[in-house]
């Protein structure tokens, strides 16, 4: 234990130097950091990102309308069942959607087993229940299937929300699931969340339909929908229910200008381009409706086949509206509408107070530990204090490099780590004292002190690390921030206590060859 290989010494020194190097931007002024950004890219310029509670910003609690997705799946089930029943010549008197499925009433004498087989073929997750009257049949999604739909809807919503927020340029947003149907969105540095709310509040479900030119006769039929015109309140237009194209066929959308007016240009994938070409070629001279979230935003006339895979959306748009619409189309449509249940804005002054209080807590804790270690263990205590400073630098370097978000609980984790960082040195120094009292030589006392304290140090650090991992796995928001800083601090403190302090102790012993240990 009193010998350290040269390559280990070099590795320890390099690690300490890098820790100081990469943590340094956190103590520089903004002007100095801006100057360093003009230097070569390998130089450190990253700092720790401050969370919502430290930097200020906006907090949104969103509710996902999962029932809308289940209702749409039920309606789709009805639409899929109609042609299958007709193809198999199954007569029925009524067919309708119900929560989580569909209900069918067949004519007297119909083979129920055949109907069940047809319905099972629509979706393997359906549970088929026949009524006692031998005519009514219900096909409902199983509890497992409904839970899977719910999880898929929430996960997809989180991904779309993340894409939309990232497109706005917001730095380090925190987007997490809460409960069964809620999403937390934290936006550090955003003090006016209205535009974010407007962007998140739109489902952005884009579809393309042919306009029904016989609306007066067929508006009540199942194949026609009557939708409002977005640009002309009070005006409606009838469109064919079946969509020719959907928004998921878009590969890109960008704001642009045509004849001095803002427009949205978009490109389609291969399947969408072929279908768009076919539809426009077969319907030259007919109007074509572009529907966004249940409103017709444009209904241009098809002047000729459009087969290049790209097209434009025109309308009475402002420049900001075309930018936002392009953003929404690029990010994709939400699977279900979002409702804003809660909104909070944290002012930067409150965050600054938290940062200042955290700094004071860290400095006081650091100062008290430095004084205590030096007073209790003399020169070896000073070695432990130097290792403690290296440990703090390591924590800040890792948080900066990983671009982790530091929250107020995260500061608490750092303060706790500072207190725990010297725990290993206390165990080692006390063991060395005990060995000296038993008459060991300085070299043997140090050797025994490190080797016999190692098992206890590993055990204590490992159990704390397991607790941090559990907090990170099952916690949310602030709990995760605390667990991250605590986990990083445990690993860095182990390195600083075992490697850095031991290097200084052994170097001192080899140079002085003292018979008395200052511990």
Query: In terms of domains, do 108 and 128 share one?
Result: yes
Query: In terms of domains, do 292 and 440 share one?
Result: no
Q: How many CA atoms lie within 13 A of 10 on its CB side?
A: 3
CATH number of the structural domain spanning residue 75: 3.30.980.10
- Tell me, yes or no, whether 431 lies in a domain: yes
Q: How many CA atoms lie within 13 A of 227 on its CB side?
A: 25
Q: State the total domains in the chain.
A: 3
Query: In terms of domains, do 357 and 384 share one?
Result: yes
SS3 283: coil
Query: In terms of domains, do 430 and 378 share one?
Result: yes
Query: In terms of domains, do 247 and 269 share one?
Result: yes
Query: In terms of domains, do 354 and 214 share one?
Result: no
CATH number of the structural domain spanning residue 253: 3.30.1360.200
The DSSP output letter for 223 is T
Pairing relation of β-strands 57-64 and 182-188? antiparallel
- Tell me, yes or no, whether 186 lies in a domain: no
Query: In terms of domains, do 285 and 379 share one?
Result: no
SS3 220: coil
Query: In terms of domains, do 263 and 407 share one?
Result: no
Nearest to 100 by CA among 126, 63, 136, 132: 126
User: What is the full per-residue pLDDT of the chain (519 aa) written as tens digits?
Assistant: 567 888 888 999 999 998 888 888 877 776 666 666 665 666 677 778 777 777 777 888 899 999 988 988 888 888 888 888 888 888 888 888 898 999 998 888 888 888 888 888 888 888 888 888 878 888 999 999 899 889 888 888 888 888 778 777 666 678 888 888 899 888 877 766 777 787 787 777 778 888 887 644 444 455 788 889 877 788 888 888 878 887 777 788 888 888 888 888 888 888 888 888 888 888 888 888 888 878 888 888 888 888 888 888 777 778 888 887 787 777 766 778 888 888 887 766 656 777 778 778 878 888 888 899 999 988 999 999 999 999 989 998 888 888 777 777 888 888 888 877 888 888 888 888 888 888 888 888 888 888 888 888 888 888 888 988 998 888 766 777 788 888 888 889 888 888 899 899 888 888 888 777 877
Query: In terms of domains, do 88 and 18 share one?
Result: no
- Residue 302: domain span: 207-312
Instruction: Give the max Cα distance, the chain.
Output: 108
- Tell me, yes or no, whether 367 lies in a domain: yes
pTM for the full model?
Answer: 0.59
Query: In terms of domains, do 108 and 215 share one?
Result: no
């Amino acid at each position: 234990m009193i010998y350290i290989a040269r390559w280990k010494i070099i590795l320890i020194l390099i690690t300490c130097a890098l820790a100081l190097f990469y943590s340094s931007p956190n103590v520089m002024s903004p002007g100095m950091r801006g100057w360093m950004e003009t230097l070569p890219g390998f130089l450190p310029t990253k700092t720790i990102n401050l969370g919502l509670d430290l930097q200020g910003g906006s907090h949104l609690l969103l509710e996902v309308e999962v029932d809308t997705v289940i209702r749409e799946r039920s309606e789709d089930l009805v639409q899929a069942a109609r042609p299958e029943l007709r193809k198999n010549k199954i007569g029925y008197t009524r067919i309708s959607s119900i929560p989580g499925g569909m209900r069918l009433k067949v004519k007297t004498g119909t083979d129920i087993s055949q109907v069940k087989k047809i319905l099972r073929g629509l979706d393997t997750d359906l549970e088929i229940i026949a009524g006692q009257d031998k005519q009514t049949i219900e096909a409902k999604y199983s509890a497992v299937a409904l839970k899977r739909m719910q999880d898929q809807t929430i996960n997809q919503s989180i991904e779309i929300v993340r894409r939309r927020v990232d497109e706005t340029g917001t730095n380090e947003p925190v987007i997490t699931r809460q409960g069964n149907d809620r999403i937390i969105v934290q936006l550090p540095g955003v003090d006016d969340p209205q535009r974010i709310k407007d962007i998140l509040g739109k489902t952005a479900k884009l579809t393309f339909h042919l306009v029904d030119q016989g609306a007066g006769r067929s508006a009540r039929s199942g194949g026609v929908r009557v939708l409002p015109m977005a640009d002309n309140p009070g005006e409606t237009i009838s469109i064919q229910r079946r969509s020719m194209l959907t928004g998921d066929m878009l590969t890109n959308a960008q704001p642009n200008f045509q004849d001095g007016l803002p427009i949205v240009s978009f490109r389609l994938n291969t399947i969408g381009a072929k279908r768009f070409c076919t539809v426009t070629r077969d319907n030259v001279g007919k109007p074509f409706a572009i529907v966004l979230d249940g409103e017709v935003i444009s209904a241009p006339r098809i002047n000729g086949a459009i087969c290049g895979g790209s097209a434009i959306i025109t309308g009475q748009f402002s420049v900001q509206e075309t930018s936002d619409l392009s953003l929404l189309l690029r990010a994709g449509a939400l699977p279900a509408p979002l409702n804003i249940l809660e909104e909070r804005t944290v002012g930067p002054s409150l965050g600054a107070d938290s940062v200042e209080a955290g700094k004071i807590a860290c400095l006081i804790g650091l100062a008290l530990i430095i004084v205590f270690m030096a007073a209790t263990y003399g020169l070896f205590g000073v070695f432990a204090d130097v290792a403690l400073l290296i440990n703090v630098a390591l924590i800040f370097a890792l948080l900066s490099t990983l671009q982790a978000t530091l929250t107020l609980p995260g500061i608490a984790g750092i303060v706790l780590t500072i207190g725990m960082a010297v725990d290993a040195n206390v165990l080692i120094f006390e063991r060395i004292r005990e060995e000296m009292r038993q008459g060991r030589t300085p070299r043997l006392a140090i050797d025994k002190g490190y080797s016999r304290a190692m098992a206890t140090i590993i055990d204590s650090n490992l159990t704390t690390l397991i607790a941090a991992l559990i907090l990170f796995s099952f916690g949310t928001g602030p709990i995760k921030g605390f667990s991250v800083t605590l986990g990083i601090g445990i690993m860095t403190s182990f390195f600083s206590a075992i490697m850095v302090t031991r290097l200084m102790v052994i170097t001192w012993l080899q140079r002085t060859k003292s018979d008395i240990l200052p511990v």
